[in-house]
């Protein structure tokens, strides 16, 4: 009987590392979103007829969002899919508290309001979320600027109701901190900050990671 209890205790103690490792793996399996701002993810468009903005040049600044896989030597651990991701974007002018606002984020891959007239009002207040699998990626719209405007504008579904210039999302020339928060159905929220520079010329503008 004594040997039995000794073996039981040894077995219990030996199982503790395995238990902690299993808990560690399960926690690390949760989605891990990485947001990246770079010139490669932006789009610079000059529209042709019969587009509403034919002859106009608009540049859209975006952020790439990726669900990162495990690095070596843990690649064998399957990362969970980031389910139903919804974004909130906050703009804060550096050195000023007067030109600060927030808006609901719009994923580039989701339908545009003009293409879904029957659901336009619903999508205005409740934009479509996206699901990002392991190693998958999505693009999040941030701002847009017309070449001949001095100011830029935050871009989401509201833009379609204001000729792409939502008054409440106006960004005058200057530098801003952009805080992006992405909430997932998995119960995790990811937050990153960026620096945004608004200039008269599109070529002088940038959005970059902090």
Residue 21 lies inside a defined structural domain of this protein: no
DSSP state of 51: S
User: Per residue in 90-119, pLDDT tens?
Assistant: 999 998 877 799 999 999 999 887 666 666
User: Per residue in 147-183, pLDDT tens?
Assistant: 999 999 999 999 999 999 999 999 999 999 999 999 9
Residue 26 lies inside a defined structural domain of this protein: no
Residue 20 lies inside a defined structural domain of this protein: no
CATH number for the domain harbouring residue 71: 2.60.40
Residue 12 lies inside a defined structural domain of this protein: no
**What is the per-residue pLDDT for 130?**
97
pTM: 0.84
In percent, the amount of the chain with pLDDT more than 70 equals: 79
- Summarize the confidence of residues 9-31 as an average pLDDT: 57
Q: Looking at the chain, list the stretches that DSSP marks H as alpha helix, in order from N- to C-terminal side.
A: 2-28, 120-125
Q: How far apart are CA 43 and CA 60, in angstroms?
A: 5
Number of domains the chain is built from: 1
- Summarize the confidence of residues 62-87 as an average pLDDT: 84
Q: How far apart are CA 37 and CA 25, in angstroms?
A: 30
**What is the per-residue pLDDT for 116?**
64
How many Cα atoms within 13 Å fall on the side-chain side of residue 73? 0
Residue 64 lies inside a defined structural domain of this protein: yes
Residue 22 lies inside a defined structural domain of this protein: no
Residue 104 lies inside a defined structural domain of this protein: yes
Residue 1 lies inside a defined structural domain of this protein: no
Average pLDDT, rounded, for the chain: 86
User: What's the domain range around 189?
Assistant: 31-209
Number of other residues whose CB lies within 10 A of the CB of residue 162 = 12
């Amino acid at each position: 009987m004594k040997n039995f209890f000794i073996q039981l205790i040894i077995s219990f103690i030996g199982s503790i590392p395995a238990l902690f490792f299993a808990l560690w793996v399960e926690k690390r399996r949760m989605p891990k979103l990485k947001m990246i701002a770079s010139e490669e993810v932006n789009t610079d468009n000059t529209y042709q007829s019969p587009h509403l903005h034919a002859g106009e040049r608009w540049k859209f600044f975006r952020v790439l969002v990726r669900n990162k896989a495990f690095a070596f030597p843990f690649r064998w651990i399957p990362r969970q899919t980031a389910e139903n991701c919804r974004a909130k974007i906050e703009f804060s002018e550096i050195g000023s508290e007067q030109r600060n606002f927030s808006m609901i984020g719009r994923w580039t891959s989701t339908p545009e309001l003009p293409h879904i007239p029957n659901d336009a009002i619903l999508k205005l207040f409740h934009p479509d979320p996206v699901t990002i699998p392991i190693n998958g990626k999505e693009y999040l719209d941030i701002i847009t600027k017309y070449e001949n405007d001095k100011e830029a504008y935050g871009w989401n579904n509201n833009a379609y109701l204001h000729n792409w210039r939502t008054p409440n999302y106006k960004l005058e020339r200057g530098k801003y901190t952009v805080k992006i928060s992405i909430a997932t159905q998995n119960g995790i929220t990811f937050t990153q900050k960026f620096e945004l520079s608004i200039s008269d010329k599109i070529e002088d503008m940038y959005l970059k990671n902090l």
